[in-house]
Amino acid sequence: MKKIVIAGGTGFIGQYLSQRFIEQGYNVLTISRGRQHISWDDTASVIAVLEGAELLINLAGKSVDCRYTEANKSLILSSRVETTRKLQWAVDQCCNPPKVWVNSSTATIYRHAEDRPMDEATGDIGAGFSVEVAKAWEGAFFEGAGKTRKVALRIAIVLGRGGGALEPMVKLVKYGLGGVQGSGTQMFSWLHIEDLFRIIEMVMSNESLQGVYNCSAPNPVNNANFMQELRFILKPPFHLSSPKLLLQVGAFFINTETELILKSRWVIPKKLLEAGFVFRYPNVGEALTEILEDSHKMAHVSGPVL
């Protein structure tokens, strides 16, 4: 049976990809810190599991849903760069290394943009801690050579059932706090998780694909429109907005950063579209309807992968 290896595959995205690839008939193996999986510290087993793999997917990294203290910033950076380098070392030891390596990156690498969209060729790389992490992450990924074809996916906010940041957003709407966050003009780039799976499938099958790809739906919306779509589906009796100052105070008390909400990510998947990828969920209304249509299932969105 052909095998796929997912590093850092115990989260929302990793679990979904694992299940979908199992449905396709693959043997999916996970590298993580959990006891039931292959340990990062067991180098011999990591090398053995990578040997002959059809695909390696690396999603490893500490969640950015936290305060950016010096300790947390150090962990956010090291959990991405060091694991990527560990995987490169292990791949280099393989006699038959993985055919393709898909490494997670993040749409946060681009600047705050409300004036124009960012694509792979003309997008402006931003500044600040999050951007520096993204640059270091991609740098670690591409610094190693070898026979394995490499693709870095700059992933936007992923929509799907099973975990992440939509749960509190849905609760805000249901409790009447589903107005705009901040100005509401900040752009919201997103991707349905099924399209993420299909993009990775295309990367596997199309040997011409390599390098960096924006991984987002072709029709981003601003925050005001996204919240409007949520309200249309959930139909709350009323809604109040959250100004920037209130968000900053709230983020402090719940141990997170406002960047996840207030940064304008306006990302276009130009290279995927040029490669012929057809999105199953190009519009956010269709995506949210599919996710939220069953009232007995809780819908969620993963935060940015950064």
The answer to whether 227 and 181 have CB atoms below 8 angstroms apart is yes
Q: How many helices (H) and strands (E) does the chain have?
A: 11, 12
Lowest-confidence region among 51-65, 202-216, 258-272, 283-297: 283-297
Per-residue pLDDT at 33: 85
User: Is the entire prediction scored with pTM above 0.85?
Assistant: yes
What does the pLDDT read at residue 63?
A: 85
Assign residue 298 a region (left: φ > 0; alpha: ψ between -120 and 50; beta: otherwise): beta
Comparison of pLDDT for 161 and 127, the residue scoring more: 127
Q: In the predicted model, is pLDDT for residue 20 greater than 60?
A: yes
β-partners of residue 71 are none
pLDDT value of residue 290 = 93
Q: What is the mean pLDDT of residues 262-286?
A: 96
Contacting residues for 185 by C-beta, under 8 A, at least 6 apart: 114, 222, 223, 224, 264
Q: Is residue 186 pLDDT above 70, yes or no?
A: yes
Of the two residues 238 and 230, the one the predictor is more confident about is 230
pLDDT-based confidence at residue 158 (cuts at 50, 70, 90): very high
Average pLDDT, the chain: 89
Report whether pLDDT(301) > 60. no
Strands 211-215 and 149-155, bridge-based pairing: parallel
Tokens 């306006």, residue?
266
pLDDT (mean) for 46-73: 93
Give the pLDDT of residue 297: 45
User: Which of 40-49, 110-119, 176-185 shows the lowest mean pLDDT across its residues?
Assistant: 176-185
- Identify whether the C-beta of residue 162 lies closer than 8 Å to the C-beta of residue 16: yes
